[in-house]
Structure 1
Amino acid sequence: MNDPVLLTGAGGHVGQVILEGLREEYDWRLMFHSEPEEEPEFPYWTGEVQDYDDVAPAAEGVGAIIHLAGDPRPSAPWKSVLQNNIDGTHTVYEVAVDEGIEKVVYASSNHAVGAFETEERTPEMYRVHDTDRLDGTELPRPGNKYGISKATGEVIGRYYHDEHDISVCNVRIGNLNEDHPPIDYERGQAMWLSPRDCAHIHQRTLEADYDYEIVYGISDNDRKYYSLERAKEALGYEPMDNSAEWDGDERVAGGN
């Protein structure tokens, strides 16, 4: 990717992790919801992601967009997800078409299929075989309104790929809340995404050739119930971390 890359939601946790890991790799353009506390080292804009006139100047001349902006709360009410997540994603794609941008990477979420986790499960759900893992071909099954917005964003991307030939990768991001995996509950270990794996998978979305993809953004955790096969095959994703190779804050023997 030789052209600049626009990162929306640059002030959020995922955005900061991506920037930290890939700072030197790309010529970034950043979009924030509000003025950042410190002056960024890359050109930046502030505004509402659902406002075309706010997004378009930030996207001028870029080759790809990593779209993270939106309300990230699983408990977010409908009015907020409709405006910030659904309308915002639609606006980003409209801008991409008008600016001739060929690739959009969309920050989807495990919440797009979160209701699969609400079924009665045994501890064995965290020790499934490859054929039992969710792989992105399953229908969306959101467990909250935030999940509805993420599943809708994936469908919006499907339309813009089919109608306008934009390359679209939807990354269903897992648990990036901590620099190390939670050690006190299995679900957190199953869906953990380490910071360096987060940066790496997004780098692969920028470098790989694909049409329309849905992949899971987690590390290669022993207890995972999301499949990484599509991310590996379509993107060349090579996760480096595994929640089972940590003991508290330290890696156990055999870790990288």
Structure 2
Amino acid sequence: MDEPVLLTGAGGRVGRAILAGIGEAYDWRLLDREPLSADALPAGVTDEDVVVADVTDDEAVREAVEGVGAVIHLAGDPRPNAPWDSVLSNNIDGTQRVFAAAVDAGVDRVVFASSNHAVGAYETDERTPDMYRTSDEYRLDGTELPRPSNLYGVSKVAGETLGRYYHDHHGLSVACVRIGNLTEGHPPREYERGQAMWLSHGDCAHLFDRCLLAEYGYEIVYGISDNDRKYYSIERAREVLGYDPQDNSAEYTFDGKPRDDSAVDGHPSQ
């Protein structure tokens, strides 16, 4: 890619994982509402490549998008319990602003960071025991209807729908990544749910790299590692994007240590 990639929300958890993994592979323009520390910048990125602005600022967003080849849009209020006024302003209006600015600037693609919360209400007391399993049965694959678990999830569904609109009516290539549970080093301590939706930092960077490189129109994919136990399918990400995750939560025990031979059927050793 000859033009730089705009990464919004660059200072957040997902942004840091992306930059740590593929920071040297691209030229970047980084946008965040807070200044970024020097140690957060990839090699070759200087303060001149950093835009300190909010996605609620239309003029700043349009200036940041000008001249880039692609956008990875992460910025927004990440709190699952975020109140509606923040969700509406930062996540919905902000996302629409990024899509519109990308189209007006002639950008070819936007990669939108959606969330597992867009479908969180599929997890019920009745269904949950059957969802965290090793078989393909009941896996969500991106074709199911949204079922948000909170207003934050509603905002992510809105972002996916905005992406669909800007693809259909303006020809923008859009990949929506429903990110699972991103943690560094090892899966969450909570075993079944945390390990079923684990996304390692390395696999996160690789997935967004594939979103920048692959050819597609509009896609919704799940962002998790290749865990033995999963209730999100990663087959579409493999098929369309060439996603090839290297990590598996089953390789770790409940306390986060690599499992030994006494672990059976993906369960942690006792």
Per the normalisation by structure 2, the TM-score is 0.90
Q: Distance in 1 between matches of 2:242 and 2:260?
A: 26
**Aligned position for 1:197:** 203
CA distance in 2, matches of 1:57, 1:253: 52
CA-CA distance at 1:125 after TM superposition = 1.9
Deviations 1:110-160 (A, max 9, x none): 000010013423533211532420000000000100000000000000000
1:217 aligns with 223
Q: Which residue among 148, 153, 156 is the counterpart of 1:147?
A: 153
In structure 2, the residue matched to 1:251 is 258
Query: Which of 160, 169, 173 in structure 1 is aligned with 2:179?
Result: 173
Structure 2 unaligned regions, length at least 5:
262-270
What residue is the counterpart of 2:268 in the other structure? none
Please, which runs of 5 or more residues in structure 1 have no aligned partner?
A: none
Q: Hey, what does 2:16 align to over in structure 1?
A: 16
Q: CA deviation at 1:171?
A: 0.2
Q: Give the aligned partner of residue 94 of structure 1.
A: 100
Q: Which residue is equivalent to 1:207?
A: 213
Percent identical residues: 63
* Secondary structure at 1:85 match in 2: helix
> Which residue of structure 2 lines up, in the alignment, with residue 38 of structure 1?
38
Q: Paired residues, what number?
A: 254
Are positions 1:27 and 2:27 aligned together?
yes
Q: What secondary structure, in the 3-state scheme, does the structure 1 residue paired with 2:123 have? A: helix
**What TM-score, normalized to structure 1?**
0.95
Q: Secondary structure at the match of 2:198?
A: coil
**Secondary structure, in 3 states, of the residue corresponding to 1:169?**
strand
1:188 is matched with 194
Taking only aligned residues, the RMSD between alpha carbons, in angstroms, comes to 1.6
How far apart, in 2, do the equivalents of 1:191 and 1:2 lie? 34
| Partners of 1:183 and 1:123 in 2: CA distance | 18
SS in 2 for 1:127: coil
Deviation at 1:253, TM superposition (A): 5.9
Question: Could you tell me whether the CA contact under 8 Å between 1:194 and 1:241 is conserved in 2?
Answer: yes
Task: Give per-residue Cα distances to partners, 1:192-223, cap 9 Å, x unaligned.
Answer: 00000000000000000000000000001111
Contact 2:182 2:200 in 1 (8 A): yes
Maintained 8 Å contact 1:44/1:58: no
